Amino acid sequence: MLNIILIPIFLILGFLLQKVVAGPEKLAKNLNDYLIYIVLPALALKYLPSIELIPELALPIASAWISFALSWIIFGWAGKKLAWGNSITGCLIITAGLANTSFVGIPIVKALYGEEGVKIAFLIDQAGSFIIVSSVAIIVASIYSSGKKRKRDITRKILTFPPFIFFILAMIMNITKIQSPDFLQLPLEIIVFTLTPVALTSVGLQVKIDLMAIKSKYLWMGLAYKLVLIPCLILILFREIFNLKDLILEVSVIETAMAPMITGSIIAISHDLEPKLASLLVGVGIPLSFVTIGLWYWYLS
């Protein structure tokens, strides 16, 4: 519940800091660098070595991958067909394709479904969203960012990206049953705790909501996909084709219906993929998602 309360507080704090600090853009960049180079590696070391992947939860985990794959297909095709430009296309693929399954999703699932729901949500986040944002999202960002890049350059960028390095390390630890040393647990806990306030403050620093921005068709395309279309598709696919039901189905749909992931928007911003649009998708999407998630919960219940 605390994380839910923190969401509007730190978004508003970041928005207010735009008015009072000198160089809010530089501060936002510094916060983004901290998240990418410190917090994401800490998340990998804290959670991935001990995650248990069981066959029964393959479909909920797949929901995150399906969401991102369809985002890439739909926005990739539309961007090419309608000549949006690589920057807009890449931004929408990444930001609309990744759900905020962690510090927004897990507290909401806990409030709605209790601890059993959290177990499912955690697997969706770690085996789905986190892996995607640490690997595939970087590939997309490299492909669509400005400047021609050779495959070798893209590969080097991925392999030297700190979250990806620590993701590989953490997965090796998982396979070999090695846990993070005890002396690292407290520092990792402290660093991971900073994710919510720092990420939301960073987004608030970069959100500039004006009438023209709110009218952006790209903003509403991204949010329509994220908050309405993809959870609807997951519901139909899982319930009607795979006969999934009860808690696993409901948590899968609710997690898919979460607002765009802040980390995804930060990756888009750090690759100069429409930073303003990436910030808006999160800044507008998070408060709006409280309404749409409520509607999804009512429907599923």
State the pLDDT confidence band at 197, using cuts at 50, 70 and 90.
confident
Q: What is the pLDDT of residues 99-115, one digit of tens each?
A: 988 767 877 888 888 87
Q: What is the pLDDT of residues 233-242, one digit of tens each?
A: 999 999 999 9
Residues 112 and 204: their CA atoms lie apart, in Å, by 27
The chain-wide mean pLDDT, for the chain, equals 87
Q: What pLDDT sits at residue 69?
A: 97
Which H or E element spans position 241?
Answer: none
Q: What is the DSSP letter of 297?
A: H
Q: Closest Cα partner for 97 from 83, 120, 76, 127?
A: 76
> Do residues 35 and 263 make contact, with C-beta atoms less than 8 angstroms apart?
yes
Please name each of the domains of the chain with its CATH number: 2-6+22-200+210-300 (1.20.1530)
Residues 48 and 12: their CA atoms lie apart, in Å, by 32
pLDDT at 204 over 70: yes
Give the highest mean pLDDT range of 23-37, 195-209, 255-269.
Answer: 255-269
Token pair recorded at residue 114 = 């209790």
pLDDT at 154 over 80: no
More confident residue, 57 or 294: 294
Residues 48 and 197: their CA atoms lie apart, in Å, by 22
Q: What pLDDT sits at residue 199?
A: 80
Four-CA torsion 188, 195, 135, 26, nearest 10 degrees: -120
Token pair recorded at residue 5 = 């309360």
More confident residue, 103 or 139: 139
Q: Closest Cα partner for 58 from 127, 134, 110?
A: 127
Q: What is the pLDDT of residues 207-217, one digit of tens each?
A: 766 677 788 89
* Arithmetic mean of pLDDT, 122-130: 84
Residue 52: phi and psi, rounded to 5, are -110, 115
Give percent of the chain above pLDDT 70.
Answer: 93
Q: What pLDDT sits at residue 7?
A: 74
pLDDT at 145 over 70: yes
